[in-house]
Amino acid sequence: MHLKDMLKKGLGDSYKESKENEIESSMCELIERVFNTRTLLHFAHLSTKSYAAHKALGDMYDAIVDNVDEIAEVYMGKFGLLKDLEVEACKVPSDIIRHIKEEAQWVDENRMFICKGYKPVDNLIDGLLATYSRTIYKLENLS
């Protein structure tokens, strides 16, 4: 093999590994974002004066942890353990509904990278998005 071919192969392997890490980081980012949102929801749940909002936010912060836990377990069963998960300190946004909508949009736009083409994970992401949509409905129409 020529040096040029060896360099190409080496760069290709490095590029492939970099892309795999980038894709894995999408799953890590999903988990981190959901746990961050869960905390924000809990804080908003504790500070609302609306009983309907209190219930909707409480239902959501319980549900999304179960949703993302199942997504992560199925993903790791296929692709292996995740590393380097982090959650930053957070402050409740002034508009929790907008935050929920933005998070749902991020999940939907990045689902291809998150699931790596694995249908069982993609299907579970539908459940997470349904939780976001159901809560938006309750907060916008029932509180």
| Per-residue pLDDT reduced to its tens digit, 18-72 | 445 555 689 999 999 999 999 999 999 999 999 999 999 999 999 999 999 999 9
Whole-Å CA distances, 13 to 25, 26, 107, 109, 110: 18, 20, 29, 27, 24
Is 9 part of any domain? Answer: no
* Predicted TM-score of the model (pTM): 0.81
Is 19 part of any domain? Answer: no
Question: Are the C-beta atoms of 125 and 107 separated by less than 8 Å?
Answer: yes
Is 136 part of any domain? Answer: yes
Is 54 part of any domain? Answer: yes
Is 104 part of any domain? Answer: yes
Confidence of residue 9 (pLDDT cuts 50, 70, 90): low
Is 11 part of any domain? Answer: no
Instruction: Look at residue 103 and give its three-state secondary structure.
Output: helix
Is 6 part of any domain? Answer: no
What range does the domain containing 41 cover?
Answer: 25-141
Cα 19 from Cα 5, distance rounded (Å):
21
pLDDT at 10: 53
Has residue 142 got a pLDDT over 60?
yes
Number of domains in the chain: 1
Is 20 part of any domain? Answer: no
